Amino acid sequence: MFKKILVPLDRSSLSEQALGTAEAIARASNGELSLVIAHPMAPLDGSMIAEWGDRRDPEEVTYIRQITDEMARGARVVVHGSVATGSPVDAICRRARDVDADLIVMTSHGRTGFSRAWLGSVTDGVVRNACVPVLMLRAMDEKPALGHGRAMPVFHRILVPLDGSATSSSVLTAAATLAQCSAATLILLRVVMPVPIFMIDPQVPAYPTAITDPDATQEVANEAENALAKLATSLEHEYSINVETAVEIAGATAQAILDAAKRRAADLIAMTTHGRGASRLIIGSVTDKVMRGGDLPMLLLHPTAVPKEDPAPALAASGAIRRMAGLTEGDLSP
């Protein structure tokens, strides 16, 4: 379960839309919320964290204190707040480390009090630099924020695209944990690229024509189905969640993921920010295309992030994930 959840804010109602989801996760996990607003550091600015008594930024301090107090009264969860000094990405990632957060929840964009757009690029920077999973929510049209004490429903069907690599599988722990605390169904998806046969035209031998080998493609799909079925069984046993599997044969991976999400009524997609499959860089560009081509929230994990876990279950789960994915220790990154 997620025990410490960080929510970056920028004093806009758009950024505050993350509060309801974060609160719901905290309630289900019996966890704590930590709210942070980033304040650009002025020359010779002193302490990196402005506590309540620091009057250098009274509006920001008052804002965080008001939201923290309101949520603490209505949410029945422990809530902390702070103003972190520095560039938004650095300040947020530093605060995540300081509070030992195991999840960051934030909207994909927002506006500061000075109407300066930043949260889109900030979210991207946080995803690339954070040492924990980032739940990126899609901001709705700006409107008055929901009451901070009213937790919103969390997710029901979480799609996890995999490419057969340990890197793409690294998001499974976070995805399964989120499914566990929200009683959601996990959907494991493998997109299989058609296996080509190159036909040589005697008239133009220098330009072979590629056609799909249906038998070889189906064999790869069958192997993927078997691996996903074993992995699903392991995850169901480890996390006590419902797990479905799906194998799609398609040439355009990102579009196949988006189509599968729609067809299977997914309300969240969980992916690593990059990975390797069949010795080709896949997940990096695919994740980018899915983020820009879809409108679903995404749970994103940089593959170098070290997830916070309970040692025994985590080791058992990660070992099972590697075994069920058909990976050996030699396949893992150092």
Do 182 and 310 reside in the same domain of the chain?
Answer: yes
**Residue 253 burial by CB count (10 A; 0-12/13-18/19+): exposed, middle or buried?**
buried
Residue 44: domain span: 4-137
Q: Which residues contact 332 (CB under 8 A, 6 or more apart)?
A: 166, 322
Identify the DSSP state of 102: S
Examine residue 161 and state whether it is found in any structural domain, yes or no.
yes
Residue-level pLDDT at 1: 84
Check if the beta carbon of residue 245 is closer than 8 Å to that of residue 186: no
**Four-residue CA torsion sign, 177, 180, 182, 185:** positive
Angle between helices 18-29 and 172-182 (to 10 degrees): 80
Same domain assignment for residues 105 and 172: no
Rg, C-alpha atoms of the chain:
22
Are 201 and 272 contained in the same domain?
yes
CA distances to 193, 256, 268, 281 from 262, in Å: 20, 10, 10, 25
Please tell me the distance from the alpha carbon of residue 323 to that of residue 334, in angstroms, as a whole number. 17
Q: Final residue of a domain: which of 137, 166, 186?
A: 137
Q: Where are the alpha helices (DSSP H) in 153-213?
A: 166-169, 172-182
Domain assignment present for residue 152? The answer is no
CB atoms within 10 A of CB 195: 16
DSSP string computed for 39-76: EPPPTT---SEE-TT--SSHHHHHHHHHHHHHHHHHH-
Task: Output the CA angle 281-286-292, nearest 5 degrees.
Answer: 150
87 and 165 within one domain: no
Count of domains for the chain: 2
Largest CA distance in the chain: 83
Question: Which value, to the nearest 10 degrees, does the dihedral of the CA atoms of residues 215, 258, 210, 325 take?
Answer: -50
Rounded Cα distance between 39 and 114, Å, is 12
Please tell me whether residue 105 adopts helix, strand or coil conformation. strand
> What is the three-class DSSP state of 187?
strand
Of 107, 137, 167, the position where a domain reaches its end is: 137
Domain of residue 49, CATH code = 3.40.50.620
pLDDT at residue 184 in the model = 95
Domain boundary among 104, 137, 170: 137
Let me know whether 191 and 119 are in one domain.
no
- Rounded to whole angstroms, the Cα distance separating 323 from 215 reads 26
Assess if residue 151 is contained within a domain: no
Backbone angles phi, psi at 324, to 5 degrees: -70, -25
Question: Could you give phi then psi for residue 173, rounded to 5 degrees?
Answer: -60, -45
The residue type at 158 = I
Instruction: Give per-10-residue mean pLDDT for the chain (334 aa).
Output: 93 89 92 88 51 58 89 82 88 94 85 42 85 89 49 84 89 96 95 83 65 90 96 97 97 95 97 57 71 91 62 40 38 29
pLDDT score of 207: 64
Does one domain contain both 326 and 221? Answer: yes
In this structure, which amino acid lies at residue 147? G
In a domain? residue 98 = yes
Domain membership of residue 143 (yes or no) is no
Polymer length of the chain: 334
By DSSP bridging, strand 78-85 and strand 49-50 are antiparallel
Q: Give me the pLDDT at residue 137, please.
A: 92
* C-alpha atoms less than 13 angstroms from C-alpha of 181 in its C-beta half-sphere: 21
Record the tokens describing residue 147, joined without a space.
């009451």
Contact 110, 14 (CB under 8 A): yes
Query: Are 33 and 7 a contacting pair, CB within 8 Å?
Result: yes
∠ CA(239), CA(245), CA(246), 5° rounding?
Answer: 155
